[in-house]
Amino acid sequence: MPICREDMAAQGIAQFDFVYVIGDAYVDHPSFGHAIISRLLQAHGYSVGIISQPDWKQKESIAIYGEPRLAFLISAGNMDSMVNHYSVSKRLREKDSFTAGGVMGKRPDYATVVYGNLIRQTYKKTPILIGGVEASLRRLAHYDYWSNKVKRSILLDSGADILMYGMGERSILALAEALDSGLAVSDITYVPGTVYKTQKKEDIYDAVFLPGFMQVKEDKSAYARSFYLQYQNTDAFNGRRLVEAYPNKIYVVQNPPAEPLSQMEMDDVYALPYMRTYHPSYEPLGGVPAIEEVRFSLASNRGCFGGCSFCALTFHQGRIIQSRSHASIVKEAELLTKEPDFKGYIHDVGGPTANFRYPACDKQLQKGVCPDKQCLFPRPCKNLKADHEDYLKLLRKLRNIPGVKKVFIRSGIRFDYVLADKDRTFLRELCQYHVSGQLKVAPEHISDKVLEKMGKPSAAVYHQFVREYEKMNERLGKKQYLVPYLMSSHPGSTLQEAVELAEFLRDLGYMPQQVQDFYPTPSTISTCMYYTGLDPRTMAPVYVAHNPHEKAMQRALIQYREPKNYHLVKEALLKIGRADLIGFEQKCLIPPREMADRGSGRRKPNTKHHSHTNTTPKMKGKSHKKGKMDVKKTVSKKRRR
């Protein structure tokens, strides 16, 4: 796609239909939202010019093509710009994987808002359409962790005319057709999957009015009620139109979600003529690091019915699974084998959850998802179709492609869904063919009190999976391990629960190399709990660790063997009356005083463990270092998602 005036002239284009301003470097690969939207528009006859990472301090940077015929499009990138820039401690990150060379500082904070206002300064009346993750998750009033404020809909702050939420394929084509037909952007109020603003309350029909912006800004209980109403209306089949009132008689109207793509439509999207790499102009800078995570991976589905409280997928992709056909995925895999640097390894076959291939039950594509129930939580629904047969057939086809040596599954599996399937064929073939020594799973915590707030299965379910995984590997004669993802300071977790998790790790004989602190990103149940102190599902109070020192103690307890964490761990244990865990006995976490010989940070693991001890990697020398690198890389990949 054209990225500069010279490209525009070379293609003989006098005026673009759309000018697409993006916060990422331009990567023409279907794992990047801007690639899908621009290629889809191109396939339907519209011309698109890309402006990647414009200099937001210069108005001229967004005017290089002149005014587009139909509209400006804006996306902050594959991530929320604030998550991209800052760690959970609000420290500036050292690397931006979505920028050439990994350089930081190529996009502004709150990029969608900045780009929108930059365009509006020059083009007063040209339609502006915003989309992508940042816009999607900030489409109504939302708590913003970085400013510690409730912010208005990003539609208002950006100066845009229409916001597209969700994946956007249906919405962008409907908007393009409407604009191309001559409709004024102010009259395009009917497109599913979009949000618009109006001062004509009388024109709003068949809608649910949420608590107004001023009310949710001043009353946390009103915020929680409003959020849960939104959460209950994220489904295309039963979602209602939602309205949020603002001062000066402004109304932000969220239309019901767009319908999920059919399998044929998904196939068509992934069959578009992507170059499958970053723009060649980035080569001197070393390319775009983010492509390495997806270059030899295959997306087989989108959406997730897992229902984790800390995940924003419900608000963005929805709970109904959409999947590609075997033929589409196999064809893409065959393309990978022709890449000159393909070594025979497909790194992943999956999506938000790898082993979800179809909707959770038969009724979802006719009646939608249950607004007040989850498919897997607190236990699998009686209507759940737990069946891996189709996924197994796909994996077998991929394994048999000439040139493919190994097919890995790295995007994560739901172990409770594996157990819900009475047939253990998938577990056997997973262990036999698709694990590279370590399988990453996400119990996230071990306290049922915290797991309930996370929307995760009880600890007993994880222990059962561990036992079955061990037995299967033993039967196959393989030494393969589980690496658990763990999260500290999630709402509901006190120091008591953090110690419970530390004791679990002690018995496991394993200390994670990397721990994820809970990160309050926009539009998740967990973020709502973090801000309001209420569980929006029940309106019951929830304990939240806001104090940075307490959060540091919870994190330190998970890595209690690290010398740098000694004083934090000791303080936490004394604070909650667990001095019994300070000493030299086997059950103790730390000795009575910081030892001079603790320089390595590695106490010798306990020799007696519970039955699931074998799930811990026990590597030495070079293999141990490699194991740590693999875990770190995979964790960072998951957390970016």
> Do residues 212 and 245 lie in contact, with contact meaning Cβ atoms separated by under 8 Å?
yes
Longest dimension (CA), the chain: 78
Residue 188: is its pLDDT beyond 70?
A: yes
Residue 255 has pLDDT above 80, yes or no: yes
Q: Would you state the pLDDT for residue 439?
A: 93
Strands (E), 521-598: 534-535, 540-541
3-state secondary structure of 517: strand
pLDDT of residue 457: 95
Confidence of residue 593 (pLDDT cuts 50, 70, 90): confident
Return the pLDDT at 314: 86
Please give the Cα distance from 21 to 113 (Å, whole number): 12
DSSP for 26-92, please give it.
-EESTTSHHHHHHHHHHHTT--EEEEES--TT-GGGG-TT---SSEEEEE--SS-HHHHHB-TT-PB
Instruction: Tell me the angle at which helices 566-575 and 548-558 cross, rounded to the nearest 10 degrees.
Output: 110
Q: Is 536 helix (H, G, I), strand (E, B) or coil?
A: coil
Q: How far apart are CA 72 and CA 128, in angstroms?
A: 5
Q: Which of 254, 288, 304 is the last residue of a domain?
A: 254
Residue 409's pLDDT is 94
Question: Is the confidence at residue 383, as pLDDT, over 60?
Answer: yes
Q: How far apart are alpha carbons 547 and 144 in whole angstroms?
A: 17
pLDDT > 70: what percent of the chain?
A: 93
Residue of 591 and 606 predicted with greater confidence: 591
Find the range with the poorest average confidence among 299-313, 460-474, 611-625. 611-625
Structure tokens at 502: 């530390």
pLDDT reading at 155 higher than 50: yes
The two tokens of residue 491 are 């709402």
Percent of the chain at pLDDT above 90?
A: 88
pLDDT at 331: 98
Residue 323 DSSP code: E
CATH number at residue 155: 3.40.50.280
Distance CA 431, CA 583 (A): 39
Taking the C-alpha atoms of residue 572 and residue 501, their distance in angstroms, rounded to an integer, is 13
Give pLDDT, residue 511: 82
Q: Which residues of 104-119 are buried (b: 16+ CB within 10 A; e: fewer)?
A: eebbbebbbbbbbbbb
Domain finish residue from 227, 254, 281: 254
Is 26 part of a structural domain of the chain? yes
Residue 411 — very low, low, confident or very high, per pLDDT cuts 50/70/90? confident
Average predicted confidence (pLDDT) for the chain: 92
**pLDDT-based confidence at residue 497 (cuts at 50, 70, 90):** very high
Is 588 domain-assigned? yes
Residue 152's pLDDT band, with cuts at 50, 70 and 90, is: very high
Pull the structure tokens for residue 598.
Answer: 């603790």
Say how far apart CA 279 and CA 217 lie, in whole Å.
Answer: 43
Domain that holds residue 565: 437-449+472-520+529-615
Per-residue confidence (pLDDT) for residue 436, from 0 to 100: 85
187-210 mean pLDDT: 96
Distance CA 166, CA 133 (A): 8
Torsion of CA 637, 290, 55, 185, to 10 degrees: -80
Q: Bigger pLDDT: 615 or 236?
A: 236
Kindly state whether residue 152 falls inside one of the protein's structural domains. Answer: yes
Give 81-109 pLDDT, tens digit per residue.
999 999 999 999 999 999 999 999 999 99
- Judge whether 638 lies within some domain: no
Distance CA 433, CA 496 (A): 40
- 637 — phi, psi (to 5°)? -65, -45
> How many domains is the chain partitioned into structurally?
2
Please tell me the total number of residues recorded for the chain in this structure. Answer: 641
pLDDT at residue 624 in the model: 37
* Residue 271 domain flag: no
Q: Identify whether 378 is preceded by a cis peptide bond (ω within 30 of 0).
A: yes
- Tell me, yes or no, whether 599 lies in a domain: yes
pLDDT at position 617: 43
- Phi, psi angles (nearest 5°) of residue 249: 60, 40
* Confidence (pLDDT) at 607: 35
Q: How confident is the model at residue 513 (pLDDT cuts 50, 70, 90)?
A: confident
pLDDT score of 508: 86
203/635: higher pLDDT: 203
pLDDT at 606: 40
Nearest to residue 262, comparing CAs of 307, 320, 314, 313?
320
Residue 618 has pLDDT above 90, yes or no: no
So what's the pLDDT on residue 622?
Answer: 37
Asked if residue 573 belongs to a domain, the reply is yes
Alpha-carbon distance of 207 to 201, in angstroms, equals 11
Residue 380 confidence (pLDDT): 95
pTM above 0.75, yes or no: yes
DSSP notation for 93-109: PS--TTSGGG-S-SS-T
Residue 279: HSE in the Cβ half-sphere, 13 Å Cα cutoff: 18
pLDDT by residue (tens digit) across 9-24?
A: 999 999 999 999 999 9
CA distance 373 to 381: 9
What does the alpha-carbon distance between residue 46 and residue 35 come to, in Å, rounded to a whole number? 14
Measured CA to CA in angstroms, residue 465 lies from 458, 462, 589 at distances of 12, 5, 26
Residue 586 pLDDT class (50, 70, 90 cuts):
very high
pLDDT value at 433 more than 80? yes
Q: Which of 222, 238, 254 is a domain's end point? A: 254
In a domain, 533, yes or no: yes
CA angle at 593 for the pair 591 and 595, rounded to the nearest 5° = 80
Residue 384 — left, alpha, or beta (φ > 0 → left; ψ -120 to 50 → alpha)? beta
Mean pLDDT, range 429-434, rounded to an integer: 97
The 3-state DSSP class for residue 239 equals coil
Report the candidate in 331, 188, 302 with the shortest Cα–Cα distance to residue 253: 188
What is the CATH classification number for the domain harbouring 555?
3.30.750
Q: Could you tell me which of 560, 564, 568 has the C-alpha nearest to residue 587?
A: 560
